[in-house]
Amino acid sequence: MQWEIVIGLEVHSQLSTQSKIFSGAPTAYGAAPNTQACAVDLALPGVLPVLNRGAVERAIKFGLAVGATVNRRSIFARKNYFYPDLPKGYQISQFEIPVVSGGAIKIQVGENEKSIRLTRAHLEEDAGKSLHEDFQGMTGIDLNRACTPLLEIVSEPDMRSAQEAVAYAKTLHSLVRYLEICDGNMQEGSFRCDANVSVRPMGVETLGTRCEIKNLNSFRFLEKAIEYEARRQIEILEDGGTIKQQTRLYDSDKDETRSMRSKEDSEDYRYFPDPDLLPVEISEEWLEQMRATLPELPEAKRLRFMSEYALPAYDAAVLTVSREAAAYFEEAQNGFGGEAKLCANWIMGDVSAALNKESLEIADSHVTSSQLAGLLKRIADGTISGKIAKEVFDAMWNGEGDADTIIEAKGLKQISDSSAIEKLVDDIIAQNPEQVAEYRGGKEKVYGFFVGLAMKASKGKANPAQLNEILKRKLTG
């Protein structure tokens, strides 16, 4: 029997506010445990929550960016459950009327484009964190994250493979960073996914029983967890068993999912409107103010790169994966002013390789966009060859200055003097009569032998185009 995998994602994006969603406590990451939790976060008697306007504004921006309905009136609810790291005994969230309803995200998997529908995006507070490793036989509680603002983005079950789920998560990750509503730091938990996975026989419309895999904080883990969970469910069903609705965790060391608890339905949380918080009213004026702050979004930028710079779709997609990468390309290209494909190739090639080697983001590149533009100018005007350019780039990366300084200091200017190249070629032909005879006898593969000797003799500085023209002319006699 052929099986179809059905996936929906719930993504928790930590909003980039300086203070928490219902208190003035800071949200900075990395502080000592329980030093950033105030009386409101701890739910001490007599305190009342006050909604952070900045969190609502970020939710509005997201809704506008995905073509969703931004509800003019939304309400907060209490989601009741007991957890040691949830001091109130309930989480303030949104249920019946969230800030954002609907919308869609376009994803690209290989050559195929697909639209993933969004169910909603609602505001809520995060819980604290249980600490197990530092307390032998006991559990510590850090409430620094309690009340941290989250936007939970819930998709419809529109994805049919782990690869589609990863493409969706990456697209969403790029979007929230473009909008500057979330820093997207997955190691610090600012962007994490819960994956709802079920399987059903191919062609059947009814959804299977789903299991939710919690807190996946890397794209690789997301892919591996979904693939494992789908295999597990298929094996159970093919053995005649049934799937139990569960919340599961992914153990990356063993590459498996394990049961945490039976999965609750919404009625189990006994949602009811929070009596301490007024409904959120969003005026037309406020909505338009937020619309005016939207940047050029990734898809629009990708299409513009293709039309304005004549870049292939793949290059445009790579260069717009983040706002910082797109800005680096445009700054370098504007400074260069030459063929955009050459600029794109250098960023996707040597620049990316150097960044990956040192695990750096493009904003931290040792070679600035203006320095790269200077290097590209010298390639384009024939001062240096592509091969020498790589040597210059390495020197730039190591802090030896800009391209012109390095070319001058190291004597790397390309040899474009025709008479000098002709003499060099004449010497090589005279010294290798046997290979010359082979070439003239029809053994064209030996041509590379002469190119290698010529480049070696010129220390890589001979103009490749001129060298080829002169070498072919002289070899053919």
The pLDDT value recorded for residue 263 is 66
CATH class (in words) of the domain with range 418-476: mainly alpha
Cβ contacts of residue 157 below 8 Å, gap of 6+?
6, 7, 8, 196, 198, 207, 210
The pLDDT value recorded for residue 82 is 83
The pLDDT value recorded for residue 253 is 92
Low-confidence ranges of the chain (pLDDT < 50): none
For 367, list phi and psi in degrees, rounded to 5.
Answer: -105, 115
Residues linked to residue 73 through DSSP beta bridges, in sequence order:
281
Q: Are strands 112-125 and 100-101 parallel, antiparallel or unpaired?
A: antiparallel
> In the structure encoding, which two tokens stand for residue 349, read together?
């090639």
> Are residues 424 and 458 in contact, defined by beta-carbon separation less than 8 angstroms?
yes
DSSP 152-213: EEEE-S-B-SHHHHHHHHHHHHHHHHHTTS----TTTTSEEEEEEEEEEETT--S----EEE
Segment 159-216, tens digit of pLDDT: 999 999 999 999 999 999 999 999 999 999 999 999 999 999 999 999 999 999 999 9
The pLDDT value recorded for residue 219 is 96
The predicted model scores a pTM of 0.84
The pLDDT value recorded for residue 441 is 85
The pLDDT value recorded for residue 461 is 81
Residues of the chain with CATH 1.10.10.410: 418-476
CA angle 179–319–398, rounded 5-degree value = 110
